[in-house]
């Protein structure tokens, strides 16, 4: 059953264009969004699809994006289409099962999950930010920024969903961090705006969702993870774990990326985005660990394993993305599905 259109027949005009499908599931989603009809897939299509692959990850991304800015020429009412939600739920279950299977031996306590992240590794040879700092080329910085734009142009948006699900210390601390993420009251300092400025410095198109067609599955999975956690109240602990993992690991990586931008002459706005995160996230790390996590565990101690899972899942997917990018670059190839045009 297709839901009725929104009161004014609202279509998102300013949203990004729909990407082309990459398999049966994503083809079905694209077709459903374009035509206003229910998604139709062959029986068994979901079980035959790789949970880490292009088809499922793009299909999930498209359905999640209905809760953000939607798509050009897609009725806003499709956000709550029960047929689309039913398909999304089935894909989420497959993705989550793959994550939990891969992380069956992952830490189950906050201390064990976050402890290793608080110490800078001696060997940084596998670090993507270290590579960019020491030997990365401008074309690699441009690719990295284009890929990351799928999150950074809506930076902190998925994490806001957890706020009404928290109380007391955890809620107050989470809102304080998010206030910084959204510019502390200044539109020009919103982190998504700073990233758009970075893209302009690098000669990239800062339009929201512009590089979706070129984004590979490992990148889509990192963005899908936070949408998955954010849209489900039952996963509020995992979303806090994800957010804390990002804040704990951000400052050292941002310091290296700021140096990379400066070394390659990327431009002042490109360098500023990461320089801003060095200082801000060093403070955020302390607040999120002691107040957000500490406050949540004081209120709901049973969520500790969920927080640890959120952290472990974030590390897993970031490592998979870094490996994908480095493997491509080591072969002198683009890490995107199609290379960027020259600046």
pLDDT value, residue 2: 46
Q: Which residues contact residue 214 at a Cβ distance below 8 angstroms, ignoring those fewer than 6 apart?
A: 146, 336, 337, 338, 340
Under CATH, what is the fold of the domain 110-330?
Answer: Heme Oxygenase; Chain A (1.20.910)
**pLDDT above 70: residue 13:** no
Write down the domain spans for the chain: 24-102, 110-330
Determine the pLDDT at residue 14. Answer: 65
pTM score of the predicted model = 0.94
Residues 75-114 pLDDT 10s: 999 999 999 999 999 999 999 999 999 999 999 999 999 9
pLDDT tops 70 at residue 164:
yes
Task: Please answer whether residues 15 and 208 qualify as being in contact, where contact means their C-beta atoms are separated by less than 8 angstroms.
Answer: yes
d(CA 259, CA 194): 17
Token readout for 291 is 């107040």
- Per-residue pLDDT of 27-55, as tens digits, reads 999 999 999 999 999 889 999 999 999 99
E strand or H helix at 276:
helix 268-287
3-state secondary structure of 11: strand
Tokens 């360098």 appear where? 271
C-beta of residue 237 within 8 angstroms of C-beta of residue 300:
yes
Which DSSP string corresponds to 36-89? TS-----TTTTTTS-TTSHHHHHHHHHHHHTTTT--BT-BGGGGG-HHHHHHHH
Per-residue pLDDT at 9 exceeds 50: no
Q: Averaged over 196-224, what is the pLDDT?
A: 98
Token look-up 């804040």 returns 247
């Amino acid at each position: 059953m297709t839901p009725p259109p929104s009161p004014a027949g609202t279509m998102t005009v300013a949203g990004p264009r729909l990407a082309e499908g990459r398999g049966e599931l994503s083809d079905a989603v694209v077709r459903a969004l374009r035509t206003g009809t229910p998604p139709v897939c062959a029986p068994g299509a979901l079980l035959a699809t790789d949970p880490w692959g292009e088809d499922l990850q793009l299909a999930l991304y498209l359905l999640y994006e209905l809760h953000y800015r939607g798509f050009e020429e897609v009725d806003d009412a499709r956000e709550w289409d029960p047929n689309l939600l039913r398909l999304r739920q089935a894909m989420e279950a497959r993705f989550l099962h793959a994550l939990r299977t891969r992380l069956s031996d992952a830490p189950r306590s906050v201390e064990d999950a976050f402890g290793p992240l608080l110490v800078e590794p001696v060997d940084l040879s596998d670090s993507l930010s270290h590579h960019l700092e020491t030997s990365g080329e401008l074309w690699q910085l441009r690719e990295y920024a284009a890929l990351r734009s799928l999150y950074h142009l809506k930076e902190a948006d998925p994490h806001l969903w957890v706020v009404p699900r928290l109380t007391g210390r955890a809620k107050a601390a989470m809102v304080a961090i998010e206030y910084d993420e959204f510019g502390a009251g200044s539109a020009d300092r919103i982190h998504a705006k700073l990233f758009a400025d970075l893209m302009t410095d690098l000669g990239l198109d800062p339009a929201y969702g512009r590089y979706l067609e070129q984004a590979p599955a490992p990148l889509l999975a990192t963005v899908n993870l936070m949408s998955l956690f954010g849209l489900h109240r039952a996963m509020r602990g995992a979303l806090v774990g994800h957010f804390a993992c990002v804040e704990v690991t951000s400052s050292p990586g941002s310091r290296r990326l700021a140096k990379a931008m400066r070394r390659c002459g990327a431009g002042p706005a490109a360098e500023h985005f990461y320089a801003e995160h060095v200082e801000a996230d060093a403070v955020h790390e302390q607040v999120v660990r002691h107040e957000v996590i500490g406050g949540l565990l004081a209120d709901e101690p049973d969520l500790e394993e969920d927080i640890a899972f959120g952290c472990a899942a974030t590390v897993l997917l970031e490592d998979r993305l870094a490996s994908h990018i480095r493997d491509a670059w080591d072969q002198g190839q683009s890490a995107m599905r199609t290379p960027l045009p020259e600046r």
